[in-house]
Amino acid sequence: MRILLVGEYSRLHNSLKEGLLRLGQEVVLVSAGDNFKNYPSDFSYAPVLFSQNIFFVVLKKVVFRLTGIDLSMLETAIRFWLLLPKLKDFDCVQLVNSNAIETFPGWQIKLYKRLFKQNKKIFLLICGDETPVVEIQLQNKLKRSALTPVLENPEIKNKFKYSLKYVTKPYRDLFTFVQKSVNKMIVSDLDYLLPMKQTAYETFLIPNPVNVDVIKHETLKMEGKIVIFHGINRINYLKKGNSYFEEALDIILKKYINQIEIIVAESLPYACYIHAYNLAHLVLDQVYAYDQGYNALEAMAKGKVVFTGAETEFMEHYRLSERVAVNAVPDVGSLVKELSFLIENPEEIISMGKRARAFIEKEHHYLIIAQRYLDAWE
């Protein structure tokens, strides 16, 4: 089968590609690399002029200030259009998001029309912000979500422009066009399945693929200080609930100053991010989730204890009787309690790390997941 993967978030499509290739499929990945994370692609439509050339970067800022138009989105559209002759005759095309090309919605529809016309089956993966997901989150019908902060404090609405754009008319029209064009819609975890269940759309859950052959498990050593890693992406700072982690760490540092070491890394490229947390025992990920995102899964695959989404719905869905991650919630007291328990009971860090790796191998193994995608596409 010839497969085209369009767009990349959190290395999901790269891991899926690795699994598909191992299963003997022909795969091409085209993306913009997910901004500063710079994930690899076979073909890239990431803006170059308006991100690297000083003159054009300044021009972009001036034009945006005067008109609100982002010239890098214009360059992205042109680069994707130039790639279109190479992106044809595929048996399956999967978009990582309705906004996978990351250009103006109206232009994106035109580009999709040509892309879809010159290929066979089309699929949409919902693994991040998406129109129906954001709509349900804004209706406040969930226990919590990535948009809980803006529901609690509307004054920070401007900090959530990226998410909220999905419920504006241009992006609603874009989603509607894609939804009507695809054969199926697939969700990557419970954070998207739960809101999608409250819509009229039919979706299928296929967990994120994790390349367990590349990500090696190393049993954590409890010699010396316990290392706590807090990775911060300023773009998603509020959505991830980083302030709760920061407050908890301030308390924990005073309480266990001679027993712990804290590493804080901000907005790093993927390769640097991975290197930064390799020595960590505990990884602080996010507080508003039900399930684990990609960074959490990769840390769990390494046998680390991750503070992330591991809600009751997650435990029930995977029929787990023991914790494979710490269910982090937006409550400083709860985070301090969980951190304190692990610092005072290091043997549980080792045990949970082993359970985390076993869970990844069973539920997220990239070859098993790649086969599930093949089954869904056919």
220 SS3 class = coil
- Which of 140, 133, 143 is CA-nearest to residue 154? 140
Q: How far apart are CA 245 and CA 263, in angstroms?
A: 12
Instruction: Kindly provide the residue ranges of all beta strands, DSSP E only, lying in the chain, ordered along the sequence.
Output: 2-6, 26-31, 43-44, 92-95, 121-126, 184-187, 204-205, 226-232, 260-266, 282-284, 305-308, 326-327
DSSP secondary structure string, 11-31? Answer: THHHHHHHHHHHTT-EEEEEE
How do residues 111-151 score in pLDDT, each as one tens digit?
Answer: 999 999 999 999 999 999 999 999 999 999 899 999 999 99
Task: Give me the architecture of the 226-363 domain, per CATH.
Answer: 3-Layer(aba) Sandwich (3.40)
Pairing of strands 43-44, 92-95: unpaired
- Residue with more model confidence, 49 or 22: 22
pLDDT score of 370 more than 90:
yes
Q: Which residue's entry shows tokens 């992006």?
A: 171
Pairing of strands 305-308, 326-327: parallel
Q: What is the model's pLDDT at position 36?
A: 67
pLDDT score of 52 more than 90:
no
- Under the banding of pLDDT at 50, 70 and 90, the label for residue 374 is very high
Encoded tokens for 303: 């046998």
How do residues 292-331 score in pLDDT, each as one tens digit?
Answer: 998 899 999 999 999 999 999 999 999 999 999 999 999 9
Q: How far apart are CA 8 and CA 14, in angstroms?
A: 8
284 SS3 class = strand
Residues of the chain with CATH 3.40.50.2000: 226-363
Q: Half-sphere exposure (CA, 13 Å, Cβ side) for 373? A: 36
Q: How far apart are CA 292 and CA 289, in angstroms?
A: 7
Task: Encode burial over 56-71: b for 16+ CB neighbours within 10 A, e otherwise.
Answer: bbeebeeeeeeeeebb
Q: Quote the mean pLDDT of the chain.
A: 93
How do residues 144-194 score in pLDDT, each as one tens digit?
Answer: 999 999 999 999 999 999 999 999 999 999 999 999 999 999 999 999 999
Q: How far apart are CA 252 and CA 282, in angstroms?
A: 13
19 to 3, 15, 42, 165, 320: CA distances (angstroms): 12, 6, 16, 33, 26
pTM here?
0.91
The answer to whether 328 touches 288, Cβ cutoff 8 Å, is no
Encoded tokens for 204: 């299928």
Residues 6+ apart with CB under 8 A from 212: 301, 360, 361, 364, 365, 366
**What is the fold, at CATH topology level, of the domain defined by 2-205?**
Rossmann fold (3.40.50)
How do residues 334-345 score in pLDDT, each as one tens digit?
Answer: 999 999 999 999
Residues 6+ apart with CB under 8 A from 288: 144, 145, 146, 148, 149, 239, 240, 241, 309, 330
Cβ atoms within 10 A of the Cβ of 375, count?
10
Residues 6+ apart with CB under 8 A from 193: 187, 203, 205
- Under the banding of pLDDT at 50, 70 and 90, the label for residue 270 is low
Q: How far apart are CA 9 and CA 60, in angstroms?
A: 24
Q: How far apart are CA 45 and CA 6, in angstroms?
A: 10
Q: Region 258-283: what's the mean pLDDT? A: 82
Rg, C-alpha atoms of the chain: 21
pLDDT score of 272 more than 80:
no
Instruction: State the angle between helix axes of 332-344 and 242-255 in degrees (0 to 180), rounded to the nearest 10.
Output: 40
Q: What is the dihedral of CA 73, 7, 118, 75, to 10 degrees?
A: 20
Strand (E) or helix (H) holding 366 = helix 366-377
